């Protein structure tokens, strides 16, 4: 088989890239090591930046988003006896939308099937060849047959553990592992607040989020090696009530349907282009989820790359493709810094001196318009 672009990884980044290229008449083939059902069921990020929402709508993917997405003007920042609203719309004129990554993936998979774009799920032994010359990818399909696809370009949207980044010899890597993790909880209960609540507490960080008007998402700061089995439903609700509690507010409780421990780290690898191989999303970078940047950063990569590949493959103009890595990395490092800043400000670590510094930063953020604007500008999302 031959195509113009082989995309390794059929998560939201790979699916979106295939969709955007297809709208420009550029052929692509998707390869994914997991089943389609597994990809569609993965529960990940749930906050879409203003630019991400705009891109999805412009790409014809906004029908369900318009109906089911929940627009939010901002967030609450909290510490004991204090809860303050940071209104992004008032500060920078942009909002965010709660719409789960699972839903984005469903929309993209439906669009792929409608357009008839080829995809191989349950692909194993995926190997990239000759990425600096005439690239091709070999793999074993779900029926056990060995296959080869030749292409002009290969794009790795295959996450941290995929084969794409490994095809780049000696990439430069920066990594930060945080001394805490999140206990993530999904519950069948209506949200207890109109916005997300980011709470600093002496016992550790807590986050009140939501997935729909009937489903809430919560996070508690725990140790990286925390055993989920030690957290009964009663213990979880007690900890959330303590860390999120303020006078006159009540936490709604309900059946907990999912519990998991999420490690916290930052990771950036360069370059994001090597010959005719490009990296996007988690294949090149990972951020802690505190700033809601992971999915949005992958979308920004894909938007940039789709424009660059269209210029190159349709019009023979290679300038944007040549600049892709440098251009993408400027945004990657900005978002990495913002995610680090939010994480460092809100998670209990260090000694009491560190705690006082965190509280001083929180107070500054909610009392200074300049500081609040900086948070709002980054959280609501820089222009694509």
Q: Which residues are catalytic?
A: 72, 198, 289, 293, 379
Instruction: Kindly state the tokens that stand for 345.
Output: 């400000």
Distance (Å) of CA 290 to CA 42, 47, 182, 376 = 19, 11, 10, 14
Instruction: Kindly state the tokens that stand for 157.
Output: 């949207």
Interhelix angle 294-315/50-58, rounded to 10 degrees, is 40
Instruction: Kindly state the tokens that stand for 153.
Output: 């370009």
* Bridge partners for 221 per DSSP: 182
Confirm if 168 and 204 have CB atoms less than 8 A apart.
Answer: no
Nearest Cα to Cα of residue 290 among 343, 341, 240: 343
Nearest Cα to Cα of residue 152 among 304, 256, 28: 28
CB neighbours of residue 44 within 10 Å: 15
* Three-state SS annotation for 170-201: CCEEEEEEEEEEEEEEEECCCCCCCCEEEECC
CA distance 339 to 47: 14
Residue with tokens 């056990």: 144
Confirm if 126 and 31 have CB atoms less than 8 A apart.
Answer: yes
CA distance 17 to 365: 36
Distance (Å) of CA 72 to CA 194, 195, 237 = 8, 6, 25
CA distance 348 to 350: 7
Confirm if 51 and 335 have CB atoms less than 8 A apart.
Answer: no
Confirm if 279 and 216 have CB atoms less than 8 A apart.
Answer: no
CA distance 16 to 38: 17
CA distance 159 to 143: 24
């Amino acid at each position: 088989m031959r195509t113009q672009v082989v995309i390794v990884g059929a998560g939201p980044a790979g699916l979106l890239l295939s969709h955007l290229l297809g709208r420009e008449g550029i052929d692509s083939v998707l390869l994914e090591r997991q089943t389609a059902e597994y990809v569609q069921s993965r529960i990940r990020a749930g906050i879409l930046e203003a630019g991400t929402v705009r891109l999805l709508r412009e790409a014809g993917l906004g029908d369900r988003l318009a109906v089911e997405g929940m627009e939010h003007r901002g967030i609450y920042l909290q510490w004991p006896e204090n809860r303050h609203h940071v209104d992004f719309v008032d500060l920078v004129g942009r909002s965010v939308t709660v719409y789960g990554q699972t839903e984005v993936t469903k929309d993209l998979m439906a669009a792929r099937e409608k357009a008839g774009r080829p995809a191989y799920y349950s692909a194993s032994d995926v190997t990239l060849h000759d990425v600096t010359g005439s690239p091709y990818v070999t793999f074993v399909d779900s029926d056990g047959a060995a296959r080869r696809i030749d292409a002009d370009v290969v794009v790795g949207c295959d996450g941290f553990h995929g084969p794409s980044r490994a095809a780049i010899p000696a990439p430069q890597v920066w990594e930060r592992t945080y001394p805490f993790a999140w206990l993530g909880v999904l519950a069948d209960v209506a949200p207890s607040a109109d916005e997300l609540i980011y709470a600093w507490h002496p016992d550790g960080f807590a986050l009140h989020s939501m997935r729909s008007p009937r489903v809430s998402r919560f996070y508690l700061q725990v140790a990286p090696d925390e055993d989920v089995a030690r957290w009964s439903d009663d213990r979880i609700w007690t900890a959330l009530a303590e860390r999120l509690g303020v006078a006159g507010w009540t936490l709604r409780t309900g059946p907990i349907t999912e519990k998991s421990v999420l490690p916290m780290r930052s990771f950036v690898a360069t370059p994001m282009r090597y010959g005719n191989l490009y990296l996007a999303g988690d294949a090149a970078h990972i951020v802690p989820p505190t700033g809601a940047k992971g999915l949005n950063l992958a979308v920004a990569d894909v938007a940039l790359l789709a424009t660059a590949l269209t210029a190159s493959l349709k019009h023979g103009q290679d300038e944007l493709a040549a600049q892709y890595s440098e251009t993408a990395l400027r945004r990657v490092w900005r978002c990495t810094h913002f995610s680090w800043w939010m994480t460092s400000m809100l998670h209990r670590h260090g000694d009491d001196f560190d705690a006082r510094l965190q509280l001083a930063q929180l107070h500054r953020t909610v009392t200074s318009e300049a500081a609040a604007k900086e948070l709002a500008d980054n959280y609501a999302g820089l222009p694509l």
